[in-house]
Structure 1
Amino acid sequence: MTAAEGHGAMTAAVGSGATTVVEGRIAGTASSARVTVRGGRIHRIERLTGDAAAVIVPGLVDAQINGYEGHDVNDEHVDGGTIRRMAAALWARGVTTFLPTVITAEEERIVGSLRAVRDARALHPVLGHAVHGAHVEGPHLSAGDGARGAHDPARMRPADVAEFHRWRQAAGGIVRIVTVAPEVAGAVEYIRQVSLECLVALGHSSANAAEALAGADAGARLSTHLGNGVARTLPRHPNLVWEQLADPRLSAGFIADGHHLDAAAFGAMVRAKGVDRSLLVSDAVALASAGRPPGDYRTPVGGEVTLHEGRRLTLRGSELLAGAVKTLDECLSWAVAAAGIPLADAVRMASENPAALLGLTTRGRLQSGAAADLTVYDDEPSIGRTPANVTIVAGTCVHRGPSDAGLAELGEIPEELR
């Protein structure tokens, strides 16, 4: 940063041609800055003196999200428009990059979902940037109680590299993550081969510690929502959770919604794994939205489900969770408020860390030359509690909230991005 004269509580972000200027305090720091965006990149960051009221957050990166606001990549009628509408809704929550997550299903259904992701990416360059690809969670998972989560055990099958290649061929190579249980038939060889083409994660598993280690040895580099998707009862030690926590080769995703992990367990796991190898994911489903009343619903993930008071989602008639109904910004807020994670660390876990894991080294960070993905909030307490004031993706304003006084020069959001 270079020094510049500050303007106190200035909150405006104004556009002029291909240049946009945003001013505010960098989330989790005491530093205020003027961020100049040009040509889809952060062109310059200048230090400001004085206190700014607005807060700037790097664009959030959600590596595991099934749906939001009634839209779900697993819907039987999904198409590119479904994913476009999902993206537009997520931009209001500060999520600027995400992987629509396809769960266990028949191969034809998985391919249909992947093609919808591919088609959405082709609708507009900004969508091609925001919808980075897909995460396929299944179908090579454990059918055991607890381990399978909301996945249909009747659709699970042995690991098959040929099926993976058919996914890639059908959808143009957009699969970025595959989650597999390392103990299923053929899994180790599958991990060995598939990890040459995309990121392989371990998850929804009944593996013992040795089998989890074998998965990492074969090339897995991520634990999918660690602490969840495991048998309801585990040996005290050793077990697959301890093994994955201890393995420095594995980063770990955590669903910080207050239901998948309590604050003590989440905090302990993050401190054991280390902030650098921890990332937040939402695992949100179509029911995720503000104001959704408790009750029984039918959803593409889990089928018959019950949404309880406190926004806990379970399979109907069961205590087993059926995904989540909080967005990534809400998870970030909970990690800070409930688990005591410093805001700067929680922001990294929801932006820079998942971006780096996906090889997107210019995203999730506020620095010159980085992708111009960022969000402006009224103040730090607003993060995760209210929609953003402004969201910018690849230098384009894609969302303007109700508190957007002084932001008129940003212009109208393109119709194809609404």
Structure 2
Amino acid sequence: MSRYDWIEGRHYRTGEPIAVKIEDGGVAQIRVSERREAELAWLAPGLTDLQINGFRGRDFNTLPFDEAMVRDVTRDLWSEGVTSYYPTVITNAPEAIREAVATIARACRRHAEADRCIAGIHVEGPFISPEDGPRGAHDQTFVRPPEWELFRRWQEAAEGRIKIITVSPEWPEAPGFIEKCAASGVAVSIGHTKASAEQIREAVRAGARMSTHLGNGAHPVLPRHPNYIWDQLAADALSACLIADGFHLPPAFIQVALRAKGDKAMLVSDAVSLSGMPPGSYETNIGGKVVKSPEGKLYLAEQPAILAGSAQMLLWGIERLVAGGLCSLPDAWDMASIRPASFMGLPQAGGLAEGAPADLVLFRRDGDRVQLVQTYKNGEALL
């Protein structure tokens, strides 16, 4: 890795050639560059992913895994422009969740790369709907009602690093649990739910602030109205995470979600371990037999209508939004960088501005494609 005093590029929003001065890992100064625009790649904030289950054959949900695996996933994500992320541990036996979050926490203590880039842990389940459809690919065996003392033990094992938890409000225990999580500084997200309108409103009153991959983790067929997707879209207090891989959501839904949520709409990858892997049939610890199509769609082998997570990353999602005319590249980029960082209260919310951390990405554009050139963490070139 190399440390730079100045990084030059075209500002991803204005197109203006700029030179960014790096001091102590942060952006100390931004001035106009004397180089021609055509010579420069685009310069943008590093990406923040709130939901990564694994990458390139490595999985945060297949136990056992060690600290070195966490470090290696972190390094691999640099090639996708990800400078901050939340390893995601999904529904499993209580002791398995405890082991997974404890291993991630140890990796942050022992490996500087993991410590700098892992902003927290996302626990997705097991306090979700047990019903087919909303449960998605999560194992029904381990689904259970919210339990604060159990979560507190996981948080202790994680050394306080659990920052997001996905919960279904349909459980009677949910409001009290959500209130305690929110009071402890954990962002509560509604997901994998069949909750009623009143249960969703009660969850928001208790402190829920986000929807996990809104529009997914749902019944294949829903009443026109009311239903839990409309209810979450209508809740102004909820930010919305969207998977824009071209398979999880149709363009019309994304367009409606963008209009309903405005600057509270964010991108996540929901990447699983098969992201970055070739097409084919795979046996996974969580979803069982799954298929990755040549087009990049990942689904359960015995239930093709049920997706098994995403096999694509944030850069792919940004490309899909822009190619589909759903938003501009700067807005799509903000959905994957500044907005999630701001939601989680990270200093990276400053984006490409003086005083912000020098977490940056250089890329070139080839039509609708984004070609990564370099990723920087605190001003250090990572590739």
In the TM superposition, residue 146 of structure 1 has moved relative to its aligned partner by: 1.3
| Cα separation, partners in 2 of 1:202 and 1:263, compared to 1, 3 Å | same
Aligned to 2:229: 241
In the TM superposition, residue 19 of structure 1 has moved relative to its aligned partner by: 4.3
| Cα separation, partners in 2 of 1:218 and 1:384, compared to 1, 3 Å | farther
User: Whole-Å Cα distance in 2 between the matches of residues 322 and 107 of structure 1?
Assistant: 22
Code of the aligned partner of 2:297? R
CA contact (8 A) 2:358 2:376 kept: yes
Alignment of 1:254-273 (within 5 A): 254-273=242-261
Q: Does 1:176 pair with 2:163?
A: yes
**Match for 2:339 among 349, 353, 363?**
353
Per-residue CA deviations over 1:286-340 (Å, capped at 9, x if unaligned) read: 11016x12x2101234121111231111111112000000011111111111242
Aligned to 1:225: 213
Code of the aligned partner of 2:217? G
Aligned to 2:300: 315
User: Whole-Å Cα distance in 1 between the matches of residues 369 and 163 of structure 2?
Assistant: 26
**Match for 1:164 among 143, 147, 151?**
151
Query: Which is worse superposed, 192-201 or 303-312?
Result: 303-312
In the TM superposition, residue 254 of structure 1 has moved relative to its aligned partner by: 0.2
| Cα separation, partners in 2 of 1:37 and 1:301, compared to 1, 3 Å | farther
User: Whole-Å Cα distance in 1 between the matches of residues 120 and 103 of structure 2?
Assistant: 10
**Match for 1:129 among 116, 129, 134?**
116
Aligned-residue Cα RMSD (Å) equals: 1.7
CA contact (8 A) 1:61 1:96 kept: yes
Runs of 4+ in 1 over 6 A off after TM superposition: none
Q: Does 1:47 pair with 2:32?
A: yes
Per-residue CA deviations over 1:94-149 (Å, capped at 9, x if unaligned) read: 00000000000001110111012112211333421201110000000001121011
Aligned to 2:326: 340
Per-residue CA deviations over 1:44-96 (Å, capped at 9, x if unaligned) read: 11123541431112100000110111111111121211111111111011000
User: Whole-Å Cα distance in 1 between the matches of residues 274 and 350 of structure 2?
Assistant: 27
SS in 1 for 2:37: coil
Aligned to 2:354: 368
| Cα separation, partners in 2 of 1:353 and 1:192, compared to 1, 3 Å | same
Q: Does 1:151 pair with 2:138?
A: yes
Alignment gaps of 5+ in structure 2: none
User: Whole-Å Cα distance in 2 between the matches of residues 216 and 299 of structure 1?
Assistant: 34
Code of the aligned partner of 1:390? Q
SS in 2 for 1:182: coil
Q: TM-score, normalised by structure 1?
A: 0.87
User: Whole-Å Cα distance in 1 between the matches of residues 123 and 103 of structure 2?
Assistant: 13
In the TM superposition, residue 165 of structure 1 has moved relative to its aligned partner by: 0.4
Q: Does 1:32 pair with 2:17?
A: yes
Aligned to 2:375: 391
Per-residue CA deviations over 1:207-226 (Å, capped at 9, x if unaligned) read: 12121111111100000000
Q: Does 1:201 pair with 2:185?
A: no
User: Whole-Å Cα distance in 1 between the matches of residues 183 and 283 of structure 2?
Assistant: 37
Alignment gaps of 5+ in structure 1: 1-13, 400-418
Alignment of 1:89-128 (within 5 A): 89-128=76-115
In the TM superposition, residue 384 of structure 1 has moved relative to its aligned partner by: 5.9
CA contact (8 A) 1:301 1:322 kept: no
Identity %: 39
